[in-house]
Amino acid sequence: MGNKALMVYGSAPCGEIDRAALETILNEFDVMAIGLDCPYEGHIHFFATYHFLDIPVYKMKRDHFKGNMDFKVIGHKHRPEIDIFEEHKEPSGSSTLLGVVAAIKLGYTKIILCGCPMEGDNKKYGSTPYNHFQKGWISRLSEIYLHTRSMSGFTKQILGHPTKEWVES
């Protein structure tokens, strides 16, 4: 992994706009898909989720559209279907923060969030709005700030937008 960049791709509707904007400053990166609803169909290196029951469903979804299946699964429980364990810490920052923390431990130094604004409704997992997860991001900001930027929303406000200079530094 080393100095290679990582795009963390979430399920927010802004994901494709964010990815297109990222590709204007960076054209080579590994990819981490976040959660069952992640619409990214390209090659992924990692899949991060707090919801272990989503793992077989996500794998079936990827198999259906002939996506690669050789990705590593990141989760917060020691289970057979989890390849990379990352301990859960309260307050939660959602599966996205779980993935970012794991990516830093894996050696990624440039992590860019696309489709992960941490704003709006979260219809899949009850009525908890994504804003609820902002506390987790604030509590771990010092741990992730150096290596992480975001293309949109609340996460962009607290982490900043990636620039060509930041990516190349």
Scanning the structure block, which residue is given the tokens 């794998």? 59
Structure-block tokens of residue 107 = 């050696």
Residue 55 near residue 47 (C-beta atoms within 8 A): yes
58-111 pLDDT, tens digit per residue, is 999 999 999 999 999 999 999 999 999 999 999 999 999 999 999 999 999 999
Domain with 147, as residue range(s), is: 5-168
Scanning the structure block, which residue is given the tokens 């990815």? 19
> Which residue, among 102, 3, 5, 1, has the nearest Cα to 48 in the 3D structure?
102
10-21 pLDDT, tens digit per residue, is 999 999 999 999
Burial of 164 (0-12, 13-18, 19+ CB in 10 A): exposed
- CA–CA distance, 99 with 10 (Å, rounded to integer): 11
Confidence of residue 123 (pLDDT cuts 50, 70, 90): low
Q: Total structural domains in the chain? A: 1
Structure-block tokens of residue 141 = 């900001």
Query: CATH number, domain at 48?
Result: 3.90.1480.10
